[in-house]
Amino acid sequence: MDSIYLAIMIGTALVLAAAFSSLIAFRFGAPLLLVFLGIGLLAGVDGLGLDFSNAPVAYFVGSLALAIILFDSGFGTQLSVFRQAAMPALSLATFGVAITASVVGVAAFYVTPLSWFEAFLLGATIASTDAAAVFFLLRAGNLNLRDKVRATLEVESGSNDPIAIFLTITLVSVISTGASADADWLLMDILRGFAMQMGLGLAAGVTGGFLMARLIERLDLDIGLLPIFVIALALLLFGVAGAIGGSGFLAVYVAGLITGNSRIRSAARLKRFQDGISWLAQIIMFLVLGLFATPSQFGAIALPAIGLGLFLIFVARPLAVWLCLIPFRFTRAETAFVSWVGLRGAVSILLALTPVLDALPNGGYIFNSAFIIVLVSLVVQGWTIGPLARRLGLVVPPRIGPLDKVELELPGAARHELLAYRVAAGSPVARGVRIPRWARPSLVVREGRSMAYQYAGRLLVDDHVYIFVPDRYPPLLDRLFASRADLDEDDADFFGEFAIDATRPASDLDAAYGIGLPEEDAKRSIAELVIARLGGRAEYADRVTIGPIELIVRDVGEDGTLASVGLSTEPHHAVPQVPVFLSAGEMRDRAVEAVRGWRARRREARLRRLEIEAARQADSGRGPDVILPRDPD
C-alpha cells in the first residue's frame, strides 16, 4: 500500500515540476518538449534512479496521449485555415514524410550498422514533425507570421503523424516476419496497406466527427459531463478505427476537425477543457518517454546519431520541403522557414518504441538513435525559430492591437454568442464609432455599476459591454473593440508612406508614376491589379513591386477583397538572403550559376586561344586555318 502512495507522490511531483518548468520555457523561448524530456531523463535510472523500463506501458500511455493531442489539434484548427493551407500541408504530410524517411534511411545505412530495412525504419520514425513543439514555439515566440506560412506549418504538424506511423508499423512487420525482399511484392503490399489504413481512418474520422457533433447537440448532458463525454468518444473512435484496420490517429484528427468546426453548443467550454487535458497528455507522454530512455547507452551511438540529426535538419528536410512545395506559390524565404520549422518530438520517440516492442535485434539501437536525433532537432532548431523568421522577413506587423474579450456560455444558443468586451483606449468604439445594429448590446458595467446599454450613453475606456451576437460576426466586433496595434518605426514604414483607394483605376498609378502598365492591367482597378500580380489571392502584408513603386496590402476584408492598400515610392524590402543550407532551390540556383560561370570562363579561354593561334599564323604568312566561333552574345 505504501508503494502506491509513493508512486502517486512521485508522479504528481514530476507533473508539477513539468508544469512549473513551462514558465521558464515561456520566459526564455525554450522548446517545451526539451524541458519535459529533460525532467524525465533527470528523474530516470541515470538520474534520480527511477527505473522504468516497461515498453508496452510506455507505448500505451504515449498512444492515448497522442490521440488526445491530435483530437485537440483538429478541434482547434479553423476550417478556413485548413482550406488555405490544405494542399501544401497535405503534400508535406504525405510525400514529404516519405521523402524524408527515404533520404534519412539511405544516410543511416552508410553511417550505422543497420540493414537497409532497419535504416529505413529509423528514417520513418523521425520523418514527421511534432505538433506540440511546433504549436508551442510559434505561439510562445510571439511570432506574427504570414497566414499562409503559419497555417501550412500547423496543418502539416497536425496531419503528418498517421503517415509516419503507417510506414513505421509496416517496416517493423516486414523485419519481424522476415518477409521476402521482392521489390514489386513489397511495394504493392505497402500501397495496399496504406490505402486501407488511410481510407478506413478517414472514413471513421468523418463518420465519427459528424456523429459526435450530432450527439453533443441532441443529448442533454450535464455541462460538467459534456467535455468528458467528448474526450471519451474521441478515444472510442481511436480504438474502433484501429480495430477495423484503419489509422486511429488520422480518425481522431479528422473527427476533431469536423467537430470543432460544427456549430455545437458549449464550444468555448469544450475548448478550454481540451486545452487543459491536452497539456496534461503532453506532460505525461514526454515524462514517460524521458523516464524510459537510458542516457548511459547514448555514448556508443552518439556520433552517428548526431550526424543523422544534422543531416535531417540541413539536407533531408529542406530537400523534401522544396520538392513538395514546387507546385505552390511559396517564396524562397517561406520555403526556407517551413524547412527549418520541422521539429521532431514525442511522436518520433513513441514510434521508435515499436521495434523495441517487437524485440527486433537492433530495436534498442533504433530507439536510442531516434531519441538523440529528437534532442538535436530541439536544441538546434527550437532556439532559433524566432530569429530566423525575422531574418527572412516573415514576421509582419500585428493586424489589430490588444483585445480583451470573454466568451460566455448560453444554454440552447448554438447560433449565437454572448461576448463581454472591455473598451480599450484608442479602439474605434472608444473614439465614438457606433456598434452595428446586427449586434445587440444588453448591458454596460462602468466603475462597478451596471446599466442598460441604451442608458449608458457614449462608451468610455474600461467599460465592460455585454453583446448578444450571431456567431459569424465576432471577428467584425473584435476590430471595433481592439486598440490600435503598437507599431514601431520599422512597422509603420512597412506599409508605405500613405494609403490609396484600391477601387480607383490602375491607370491613375500609371499616369502619376509612369510605371508603364500594359493596356490590360491599366483597365483594372488597383485592387484587381494587386490580386492578379499575387496569383489570384491577396494576404495581409503582401507586397507587389511595379516599376518605381511598391503596393502593400494593409488589410483584407472577410470576403477576400482589399480593404486598404499602402504605397511606397522607395521600395526597400529586398529579397531576404536565405541561408544556402535551408533551401534546395537556393542550392540548385547557385549550382546552376556556378556551372554557367564555369562554361563562360571556358568559352572565353577557348576564344582567347583561337585568337592567339590566328595571330600567330598571320604573322608566319599563312592564312588562318581556324574559324573563330560566332560570339553567342
Q: How confident is the model at residue 586 (pLDDT cuts 50, 70, 90)?
A: low
Of 165 and 138, the structure prediction assigns the larger pLDDT to 165
536: left (phi over 0), alpha (psi -120 to 50) or beta: left
Residue 1 has pLDDT above 90, yes or no: no
> Do 394 and 338 contact (CB within 8 A), yes or no?
no
Q: Which amino acid is at 563?
A: A
Q: What is the rounded distance in angstroms from the CA atom of residue 128 to the CA atom of residue 317?
A: 10
Q: What percent of the chain has pLDDT over 90?
A: 19
pLDDT at res. 602: 64
SS3 29: coil
Angle between helices 161-177 and 116-125 (to 10 degrees): 160
Q: What is the rounded distance in angstroms from the CA atom of residue 40 to the CA atom of residue 48?
A: 10
Q: What is the rounded distance in angstroms from the CA atom of residue 165 to the CA atom of residue 249?
A: 9
SS3 145: strand
Helices (H), 178-301: 183-218, 226-243, 248-260, 267-292
Q: How confident is the model at residue 486 (pLDDT cuts 50, 70, 90)?
A: low
* 356: its cell numbers: 523495441
CA 313 to chain centre: 16
Q: What is the rounded distance in angstroms from the CA atom of residue 99 to the CA atom of residue 118?
A: 16
pLDDT at res. 453: 82
* 258: its cell numbers: 469536423
Q: What is the rounded distance in angstroms from the CA atom of residue 261 to the CA atom of residue 449?
A: 37
Q: Is 621 exposed, middle or buried (CB count within 10 Å of its CB: 0-12, 13-18, 19+)? A: exposed
pLDDT at res. 120: 94
* 513: its cell numbers: 508614376
Protein fold of 2-41+55-391: Na+/H+ antiporter like fold (1.20.1530)
Q: What is the rounded distance in angstroms from the CA atom of residue 40 to the CA atom of residue 132?
A: 17
pLDDT at res. 415: 61
87-103 pLDDT, tens digit per residue, is: 899 899 889 999 999 99
> Do 189 and 372 contact (CB within 8 A), yes or no?
no
Angle between helices 131-140 and 147-159 (to 10 degrees): 150
Considering the entire predicted model, what is its pTM? 0.76
Q: What is the rounded distance in angstroms from the CA atom of residue 32 to the CA atom of residue 25?
A: 6
Q: What is the rounded distance in angstroms from the CA atom of residue 68 to the CA atom of residue 231?
A: 7
Q: How confident is the model at residue 632 (pLDDT cuts 50, 70, 90)?
A: very low
The mean pLDDT value for 107-131 works out to: 92
Residue 84: C-alpha distances to residues 326, 422, 586 (Å): 17, 31, 26
Protein fold of 489-568: 3.30.465
Residue 254 has pLDDT above 80, yes or no: yes
Query: Strand pairing partners for 145?
Result: 395
- Phi, psi angle pair for 251, to nearest 5°: -60, -45
Q: What is the rounded distance in angstroms from the CA atom of residue 56 to the CA atom of residue 356?
A: 9
Q: What is the rounded distance in angstroms from the CA atom of residue 585 to the CA atom of residue 592?
A: 10
Q: Which amino acid is at 148?
A: K
Q: How confident is the model at residue 19 (pLDDT cuts 50, 70, 90)?
A: confident
Residue 117: CA count within 13 A, CB half-sphere: 21
The mean pLDDT value for 71-97 works out to: 85
The mean pLDDT value for 255-282 works out to: 85
Q: What is the rounded distance in angstroms from the CA atom of residue 348 to the CA atom of residue 378?
A: 12
CA 43 to chain centre: 31
The H or E element spanning position 525 is none
Mean pLDDT of the chain: 80
pLDDT at res. 140: 58
Residue 461 has pLDDT above 80, yes or no: yes
Of 51, 537, 76, give the one whose Cα is nearest residue 277.
Answer: 76
The mean pLDDT value for 522-538 works out to: 82
322, 325, 329, 333 alpha-carbon torsion, rounded to 10°:
-40
Query: Per-residue DSSP letters for 400-441?
Result: S----EEEE--TT-TTEEEEEEE--TTSTTTTTPPPPTTSEE
Residue 447 has pLDDT above 60, yes or no: yes
Residue position matching grid coordinates 477576400 = 560
376-430 pLDDT, tens digit per residue, is: 998 888 888 888 888 887 877 766 656 667 666 666 555 667 788 888 887 888 8
Q: What is the rounded distance in angstroms from the CA atom of residue 79 to the CA atom of residue 86?
A: 10
Instruction: Give the start-to-end residue ranges of the domains of the chain.
Output: 2-41+55-391, 405-481, 489-568, 587-633
Most confident of 475-484, 517-526, 580-589: 517-526
Q: What is the rounded distance in angstroms from the CA atom of residue 532 to the CA atom of residue 514?
A: 20
433-446 pLDDT, tens digit per residue, is: 888 777 888 888 98
- Cβ contacts of 233 within 8 Å, gap of 6 or more: 208, 212, 215
Q: Which amino acid is at 633?
A: D
Residue 304 has pLDDT above 90, yes or no: yes
The mean pLDDT value for 311-340 works out to: 90
pLDDT at res. 187: 67
Query: Strand pairing partners for 82?
Result: none
Residue position matching grid coordinates 488589410 = 555
* Lowest pLDDT segment from 46-55, 127-136, 192-201, 487-496: 487-496
560: left (phi over 0), alpha (psi -120 to 50) or beta: left
SS3 59: helix
Q: How confident is the model at residue 630 (pLDDT cuts 50, 70, 90)?
A: very low
pLDDT at res. 592: 47
Q: What percent of the chain has pLDDT over 70?
A: 80
Residue 513 has pLDDT above 50, yes or no: yes
Of 228, 205, 207, 230, give the one whose Cα is nearest residue 217.
Answer: 230
Q: Which amino acid is at 145?
A: L
18-27 contact pairs (CB < 8 A, 24+): 18/283, 18/286, 18/287, 19/279, 19/283, 25/136, 25/140, 26/140
* Lowest pLDDT segment from 389-398, 462-471, 506-515, 577-586: 577-586
pLDDT at res. 85: 81
* 330: its cell numbers: 511559396
- Between 3.30.70.20, 3.30.1490.190, 3.30.70.1450, 3.40.800.10, what CATH number should domain 405-481 receive? 3.30.70.1450
83, 87, 90, 95 alpha-carbon torsion, rounded to 10°:
180
pLDDT at res. 367: 93
Residue 558 has pLDDT above 80, yes or no: no
Residue 631 has pLDDT above 50, yes or no: no
Q: How, if at all, do strands 549-556 and 562-568 pair?
A: antiparallel
Residue position matching grid coordinates 514555439 = 137
pLDDT at res. 240: 93
Q: How, if at all, do strands 416-422 and 464-470 pair?
A: antiparallel
Q: How confident is the model at residue 628 (pLDDT cuts 50, 70, 90)?
A: very low
Q: What is the rounded distance in angstroms from the CA atom of residue 25 to the CA atom of residue 385?
A: 14
Residue 202 has pLDDT above 60, yes or no: yes
Biggest alpha carbon–alpha carbon distance for the chain = 113
